[in-house]
Structure 1
């Protein structure tokens, strides 16, 4: 702190000298960037979005002191592909990471590499969910694969080490330690601070194991969806809370209440130390016993499952919000907040009971949309709100723009710096989406589509050939496709034309779909031999 105060005093006294030294001035004013990404954090579970589900006062601070985006989306709603798009600014079919199975080529350019080459200190701490040593970072401390909530392993610059504690807290502590002790104070920095939470299977921290025990949550209005009005894909998915979620892995039962069989949770709990395990059992076993004795069935059982799911999900978010608060407090205390861009987002959205679902993958709104909050006092007016169609494709060019680094031609995203600063309202009029991981977990059909602010056209393909069209203004919950509705004939034609336009713009094709399908099926066949 003393060093930072002295540096601030020196800069104030020497302002006239600095003005005569353009290179030094340029370096001093280049913004720091802290990019916070959680995993599967639904916008519905951030109180700044106004859904009333939970309170996230620290994440909300970013919106209150800066901006909130209401129509931010992803190009591919699944973990690793979304992160590859974020890093490269290129669609999945261009950067090669179309699903969680195909390898990611770290040798291609990414925005941290470009910032690093232009004088930025770079660090990645937390989850990236891609194999290989992350490139573009002076320091990396990442979870291998999905990672564990309790006593997780980390790859610290490639070396594996287990750290005792709760994953969310460990990642926050490591990020703060890097900021306080490892970065150089005279150089701009990029910090990717990426949480595992609230990814499945939603294990809360010890201190939050009983949070919301006194609350009963009402499910979304379409929780008991019968999927009429939509096609095969919605009817045949395997991600229903009441039907596909697992007694052990998801609902935290050591023994299946329907037949007494041992569940996966028994092995998972072996990772906990004695104190952690004692707190866990004290929190869950009485609640599980009460549920068994209640002998629930039908809708009552479905609502119990929803509440067990949503409470654990929100409990993990409470720790994420705490960590954001610690980081924002540090920036404020040190004066770094004035010249630091802070972004909060998720790798995609998530279903919190809408259509009866958990998980993501579909181009339907809850998984297609992602939270995006951003602050930068020098350019972003506090309390700003935007509905432009920004995507995770746009992070790379936006950060490069702020840093004064040339944006390579192969980057497909667009900088939204002028939008968030209020200089322009103009941005793209449509966004493109792809999803490839089928047949696989949750059995969501392969599809691609285009969305404008009002309409959305989706094509499900491979083992089916079906189209869906939604009027988001009249049907925001996407309960009825109007693809074959004669009243929407002109809209259907317009959206098909828009789809062809964006596919051509970004370089996608049916041939690429077949290429990635063949590679996926070959990989699955080898794995199952």
Structure 2
């Protein structure tokens, strides 16, 4: 199950039934069906109410549900007829601007007498990293520091790791937006070519992330200007971490700290003291329970969720029996582009243990190749 969906529903993927197909991964309605008694109902951005049970996201992108639609492509210069670009006007808007303007529309249309929940999901930092032209000149190639592990040759690591096709040199023309100079061609120039690609990859990635940060700033400004900031819980997070040249890789998938750990920043002046830092390990399955408790609803309202509310931790309370390890599974074995292996993994404060079981689940889009099982331990 993709991590963003787990954030909303709470169980690990194996407890979420799904229809056949690689991409049909939206969570379905929990057994038991409806919202718990007393739970708030949610409205659509066009102002029409819709009752949605926990986990029932199916159909929210369909045209009949007004302006809550699936925007085309990860950042492409396309827009729907009713999209307004950032800053007004009639020209095409990039995806990050569309997401921001639709979110502000939702806040403008909301009933001020009722609580609201707004999920703002940006896709701009996704491959192939197409930034808004307004960021031209920022983070220029040749100025971006390289990580210490950029030259990692993975010697001594498992064969499963060495098969992964996520090296910086695997970045394509679509990714870096310009052809490799002839003088950098050839196997003997791989290290220099990788550095050249890294600079262009990071240039566009950072510009896309800057668009997200600017969007977050606009939304926080809106809350401040409308006297909503003090009692609005704001969470800034992502579906996963990312490999930014670390270990010579781009993308995510392997269970290394750079891709496994997620940013998680919270602002709630009325509920959480500023400067609070949680040292305990929390996982994405804990988020749904935390949001329910913050809304005054028992986490048992999602009977199949496997997480625990970490709201007490955010409030500075000590929880004696808090888990000391986190579990993760990657199932998309040997996909045709990245060739990342399927595995189970456990992360503690000091180590990560990964078992590469190297077998696809028979899902379309996942390779049938089966490789020998391997295990490896990575110091945190």
Q: Where on the TM-score scale, by shorter chain, does this alignment land: which range?
A: 0.7 to 0.9
For residue 406 of structure 1, report the CA deviation from its aligned partner: 2.5
Cα deviation digits, residues 301-334 of structure 1 (max 9, x gap): 2211110011110011111111111110110111
**C-alpha distance 368-214 of structure 1, shift in aligned 2 (>3 A):** closer
**C-alpha distance 133-216 of structure 1, shift in aligned 2 (>3 A):** same
Cα deviation digits, residues 37-87 of structure 1 (max 9, x gap): xxxxxxxxxxxxxxxxxxxxxxxxxxxxxxxxxxxxxxxxxxx61122112
**Equivalents in 2 of 1:97, 1:145: separation in Å?**
24
For residue 234 of structure 1, report the CA deviation from its aligned partner: 1.5
**Equivalents in 2 of 1:378, 1:194: separation in Å?**
25
Equivalences for residues 26-175 of structure 1 within 5 A: 81-96=2-17, 101-104=22-25, 106-109=27-30, 114=35, 118-122=39-43, 132-134=58-60, 141-143=68-70, 146-152=73-79, 164-175=92-103
**C-alpha distance 294-406 of structure 1, shift in aligned 2 (>3 A):** closer
Q: What is the TM-score normalised by the length of structure 1?
A: 0.60
Equivalences for residues 180-329 of structure 1 within 5 A: 180=108, 182-213=109-140, 216-242=143-169, 244-247=170-173, 249-253=174-178, 256-257=179-180, 291=181, 297-329=189-221
Cα deviation digits, residues 499-529 of structure 1 (max 9, x gap): xxxxxxxxxxxxxxxxxxxxxxxxxxxxxxx
Q: Is residue 387 from structure 1 mapped to residue 295 from structure 2 by the alignment?
A: no
For residue 123 of structure 1, report the CA deviation from its aligned partner: 5.1
Asked if 1 retains the 8 angstrom alpha-carbon contact of 2:131 and 2:204, the reply is yes
Cα deviation digits, residues 372-396 of structure 1 (max 9, x gap): 0001111211112122111111111
**Equivalents in 1 of 2:340, 2:333: separation in Å?**
6
Q: Which residue of 2 aligns with 1:416?
A: 310
Asked if 2 retains the 8 angstrom alpha-carbon contact of 1:363 and 1:458, the reply is yes
Asked if 2 retains the 8 angstrom alpha-carbon contact of 1:457 and 1:468, the reply is yes
**Equivalents in 2 of 1:191, 1:298: separation in Å?**
45
**Equivalents in 1 of 2:239, 2:82: separation in Å?**
21
**C-alpha distance 388-152 of structure 1, shift in aligned 2 (>3 A):** farther
Q: Which residue of 2 aligns with 1:438?
A: 333
**C-alpha distance 94-124 of structure 1, shift in aligned 2 (>3 A):** farther
For residue 170 of structure 1, report the CA deviation from its aligned partner: 1.1
- Alignment partner of 1:457: what SS? strand
**Equivalents in 2 of 1:98, 1:305: separation in Å?**
39
Q: If you compute each CA radius of gyration, which structure gives the higher value, 1 or 2? A: 1
Q: What is the TM-score normalised by the length of structure 2?
A: 0.81
Asked if 2 retains the 8 angstrom alpha-carbon contact of 1:121 and 1:188, the reply is no
- Alignment partner of 2:346: what SS? strand
The structure with the greater share of residues assigned to helix is: 1
Cα deviation digits, residues 345-402 of structure 1 (max 9, x gap): 0011110001111111111111110100001111211112122111111111111101
In structure 2, list runs of 5 or more residues that go unmatched.
Answer: 47-55, 84-90, 360-370
For residue 454 of structure 1, report the CA deviation from its aligned partner: 1.1
**Equivalents in 2 of 1:107, 1:410: separation in Å?**
12
In structure 1, list runs of 5 or more residues that go unmatched.
Answer: 1-79, 157-162, 258-290, 473-529
**C-alpha distance 349-165 of structure 1, shift in aligned 2 (>3 A):** same
- Alignment partner of 1:469: what SS? strand
Equivalences for residues 298-377 of structure 1 within 5 A: 298-377=190-269
Asked if 2 retains the 8 angstrom alpha-carbon contact of 1:331 and 1:337, the reply is yes
Asked if 1 retains the 8 angstrom alpha-carbon contact of 2:17 and 2:28, the reply is no
Asked if 2 retains the 8 angstrom alpha-carbon contact of 1:433 and 1:449, the reply is yes
**Equivalents in 2 of 1:325, 1:89: separation in Å?**
28
